[in-house]
């Protein structure tokens, strides 16, 4: 058992949450029980994830995508109102970390992608960022674009969409999980052969061709299911509490 306040303080400090300018509040978003025995983690605070937390008698739901995003309407009604009502009814805390969990050098989504793809010599995609939310890594040996598509699809468990460029081999790779397709311009500026993110836009097809950077869309959900699991495991190690991961297999 651990105190909710201690868990939040540890996460905030470890992830340096206060140092990020984000699109939603990081940390405690909905306050539940003051004592935490079990954490369920998921990529997004969907209704299904909430019901899984309730079914597992969790005290805390830890997510990457929580609530209260910039630009959203203020009233707590409709779909979001129903989600929040269920959390409050069952006294379950909702804790979300967005950019801090993308960026963290060991617990983050990008760190997990680098590990899964066995990329080496990790550096910042944008050298001017204090806490880079995108990175560059290197394959041990060059691959053809077609072989690399097969490789990332197998390693990330997602049928990657490949938008081709002219380069015949890939070794220097830029990457940023989730909906960061527009960082392909930064990857081109840094001389990357390929760039990986989660989602893809219509314009990305032309950008990959004209910037001469192969683009691989590997799924917003698929590229961001690792950070919450790593953070949950770190909390289990630190506080000795039970954790589990809920997988919804979102195809986007």
CATH architecture of 2-97+226-245: 3-Layer(aba) Sandwich (3.40)
- How much is the pLDDT for 147? 98
- How much is the pLDDT for 62? 98
User: What's the mean pLDDT when you consider all of the chain?
Assistant: 97
**Interval 4-49: pLDDT, tens:** 999 999 999 999 999 999 999 999 999 999 999 999 999 999 999 9
- Residue spans in the chain of domains classed CATH 3.40.1390.30: 2-97+226-245, 109-223
Q: Which residue has the tokens 């041990």?
A: 140
Separation in Å, CA 252 to CA 147, 161, 218, 240: 23, 11, 9, 34
- How much is the pLDDT for 249? 87
Q: CA 37, 42, 46 angle in degrees (round to 5)?
A: 110
The answer to whether the CB of 171 falls within 8 A of the CB of 191 is no
The Cα–Cα gap between 183 and 191 comes to 13
- How much is the pLDDT for 25? 97
Q: With a cut of 50, list the residues of the chain below it in pLDDT.
A: none
**CATH 3.40.1390.30 holds for 109-223:** yes
- Expressed in angstroms, the distance from the first to the final Cα of the chain is 36
């Amino acid at each position: 058992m651990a105190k909710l306040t201690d868990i939040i303080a540890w996460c905030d400090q470890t992830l340096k949450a206060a140092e990020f300018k984000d699109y939603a509040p990081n940390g405690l978003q909905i306050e539940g029980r003051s004592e935490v025995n079990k954490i369920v983690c998921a990529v997004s605070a969907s209704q299904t994830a909430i019901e899984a937390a309730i079914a597992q008698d969790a005290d805390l739901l830890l997510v990457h995508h929580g609530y209260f995003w910039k630009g959203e309407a203020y009233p707590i009604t409709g779909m979001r109102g129903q989600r929040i009502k269920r959390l409050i009814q069952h006294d379950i805390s909702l804790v979300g970390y967005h950019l801090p969990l993308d960026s963290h050098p060991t617990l983050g989504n990008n760190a997990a992608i680098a590990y899964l793809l066995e990329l080496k010599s990790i550096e910042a995609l944008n050298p001017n960022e204090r806490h880079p939310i995108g990175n560059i890594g290197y394959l041990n040996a060059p691959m053809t674009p077609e072989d690399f598509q097969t490789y990332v699809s197998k390693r990330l468990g997602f049928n990657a969409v490949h938008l081709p460029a002219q380069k015949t081999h890939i070794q220097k790779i830029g990457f940023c999980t989730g909906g960061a397709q527009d960082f392909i311009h930064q990857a081109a500026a840094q001389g990357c052969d390929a760039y990986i993110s989660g989602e893809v836009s219509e314009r990305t097809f032309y950008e990959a061709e004209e910037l001469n950077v192969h683009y691989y869309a590997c799924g917003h959900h698929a590229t961001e299911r690792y950070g919450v699991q790593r953070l949950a495991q770190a909390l289990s190690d630190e506080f000795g509490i039970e954790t589990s991961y809920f997988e919804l297999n979102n195809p986007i």
